Structure 1
Amino acid sequence: MTIPVIDLTPARTGGDTTDLVARLHTAMSEVGFLQVVGHGVSPDLVTAAHDSMDLLDSLPPAERRALLRPSVTERGLNERVDDAGRVLGRTFKFLRYDDLAEAVADGAVAGHPDFFTPNVWPAGLPVFRETWRSYLDEARRVCDLLMGLVARALGMPADHFDAAFAHSPTLTAVNWYPPQPVDVEHEATILRPHPDSGGLTVLHQSGDYDGLEVRRPDGSWTTVPMIEDAFVINIGQLMSQWTNGVYPATIHRVVAGPTTEHSRRSIAVFHLPDLDTVVEPLPSTVGAEGPRFAPISVH
């Protein structure tokens, strides 16, 4: 199994997208993963986003500790450490909306205050927030473009998903996997196998080695190679249910580098439906046997 690479230029520039939609459908139904190029996101912005993680290391220890997220929220900085206190990974997370007030002002439902707990930004680094806000705006544009293509691939109008994602909370996770100590097994799993839970994931990866792996149907693993300026796209469990399982939420993992000198970074943007959206299999995906999944509400 190889990970398909698809050029989005025709969709972005108003060209003929017939072949693109067909290839997208094949990739999503057979693999659940693909890479896209021609998305129009500035390479300089992507580089600035990755480089911004270095700014966190420049903070005084007390300021960095202030970013550590409490257990009740998915916002802020999280460091995964082993029993010896060594940092095995670091993740910084933020939502599209900085807090509940911003979400409600934009039209998001107000009934989930616990979900919209405030983002946690480094107070002394305004450029950090500005960079990530710009990156998220561009990533959401790619998400919207892809959702229109997905709708067409599933036999629906291109705007079918627009209302369901109009106020998407969109979670971003910035991941750093530092060089691993010598006693960590070569190619040991440093992010456990899992499917994503949302709609679409748009991920950019960088570093010294190809660490992202996708599980094949036979249980073996295939590598998602780093391609300059490409985004990795994969299906989440909600989208899989929307498609009645036609598009699988494929299990994937991250492994350690081959030596203690290798490190890795990734930026994952999880495109989520609006809260309280009802997800049920699209009519175009349901055959005579009926739907495989019952309707569920996003919350």
Structure 2
Amino acid sequence: MNTIPVVDLSAVRSGNGVYDTAAALDKALRTVGFVQITGHGIDPAVFTAAYDAMTALMGESDDVRAALRDPSGHPFYGLVPRELDGRVVYHQFELNAHPSPDAARAAGIPEEYLSHFRTNLFPDHLEGFRAAMQGCFDAMRNFAPRLLALLAVAVGMPPTFFEKYMERESTSFGVGDYPHREWIPADTEILPWHTDRETLVNMLHQRGTYEGLEIRTLAGDVVRLPLVEDALAVNVGDLFERWTGGRWRGTPHHVVSGERGEWRQSIVTFCAPDVTRVIQPLDPAGGRIDPLAEPFNVFELALDLPRPVA
């Protein structure tokens, strides 16, 4: 049975081992579909602060939580409840790099794309909540270019290849809270099997008392993602699968419940490029752009998102 590879980025942070590290990431994504990275240099305190802020929010009343739900049901803004049999199983608090349509407009996003964006929502009566969430999101976004540079090298492109696509990124960020529910048996699927659609690469941090994320590897095995202290689990989305001509594929994964009294929390950053950028896929062998492949953009991949009527 496959295990999830672990790649240490410590050497890369000092300018060494770039090509070997890129090759290790490439191998993991081509053979398993997920990889855990350590040595990323993100201060563990930013994760702790975001988790603690989420715990505080979960202690608030139903009315407070309901006020943080985006009215359109957009999944990348506000507090998103996930239900099973009509009852809430877990919540995820979501932010986007564009905090509002007006902010996206000010960043130069044309009017025809603004329906992709909503407004970030915060419970500002909770002291420190906004700072904790935004601080963790910022730390993850600041790290992402270093990871994308390695992935560019892994597909034979210059380290700066993805930079222009991320100048007006539509990256989103979520903190999930998965408490124990007495009415849910252990190993019940609480987040269905899926791949991540309109994202390049996802970075997941997790803590808790059980391993709840299961992955269907490219070999067809189902394995659980281990809890590796301060590691970021990395996988690519469907967008990157198309971009790399299928060299890397979106790997199916889901979440299951734990035993009585067990819980988990997660922090995930969905790195997504400028929704307006036309993306010309790469040759799957790497090192060049495929002129015969069909171009696309993020907006087209997300056409079925809830969007306000203009």
* Inter-CA distance 222–293: structure 2 relative to 1 (3 Å threshold): farther
TM-score, with normalisation over the residues of structure 1?
Answer: 0.91
- In 2, the alpha carbon distance for the partners of 1:123 and 1:141 equals 24
Q: Is the Cα contact below 8 Å between 1:280 and 1:293 reproduced in 2?
A: yes
| Pairing 1:201-280 to 2, within 5 Å after superposition | 201-217=202-218, 219-257=220-258, 259-280=259-280
CA-to-aligned-CA distance 1:230-264 (integer Å, 9 cap, x gap)? 0110010111111100111110111111x221111
Cα deviation for residue 65 of structure 1 reads 2.1
State the shift of 1:39 in Å: 0.6
CA distance in 2, matches of 1:217, 1:113: 36
In structure 1, distance between residues paired with 2:141 and 2:162 = 14
Partner residue of 2:297? Answer: 297
Q: How does 1:20-169 map to 2 (within 5 A)?
A: 20-74=21-75, 75-83=77-85, 86-125=87-126, 127-169=128-170
CA apart distance, 1:57: 2.8
CA drift of 1:181 comes to 2.1
Q: For residues 99 and 115 of structure 1, what CA distance do their matches in structure 2 show?
A: 10
RMSD of aligned Cα (Å)? 2.1
Q: Answer yes or no: is the 8 Å Cα contact 1:191–1:255 preserved in 2.
A: yes
- Normalised by the length of structure 2, the TM-score is 0.88
What CA distance in whole angstroms lies between the structure 1 residues aligned with 2:249 and 2:71? 33
Q: Deviations over 1:53-101 (max 9, x none)?
A: 1221343443322112223423111223444x64311111111121122
Does the Cα contact within 8 Å between 2:156 and 2:286 map onto a contact in 1? no
Query: Matched residues in 2 for 1:60 and 1:211: separation?
Result: 26
Distance 1:79 1:58, change over 3 A: same
Alpha carbons 1:241, 1:279 under 8 Å: kept:
no
Gaps of 5+ in 2: 300-310
**Deviation digits for residues 114-153 of structure 1, max 9, x if unmatched?**
2221111113125211111111111112211111011111
Q: Which runs of 5+ in 1 are unaligned?
A: none
CA distance in 1: counterparts of 2:111 and 2:128, whole angstroms: 30
Deviation at 1:155, TM superposition (A): 0.8
Inter-partner Cα distance in structure 1 for 2:269 and 2:217: 23
Matched residue SS, 2:115: coil
Aligned: 1:187 with 2:187: yes
Report the Cα offset of residue 106 of structure 1.
Answer: 3.4
- Count of residue correspondences: 294
Which amino acid in the other structure matches residue 256 of structure 1?
A: S
Q: Percent same amino acid among aligned pairs?
A: 35
Q: CA deviation at 1:25?
A: 1.1
Structure 2 counterpart SS, 1:278: coil
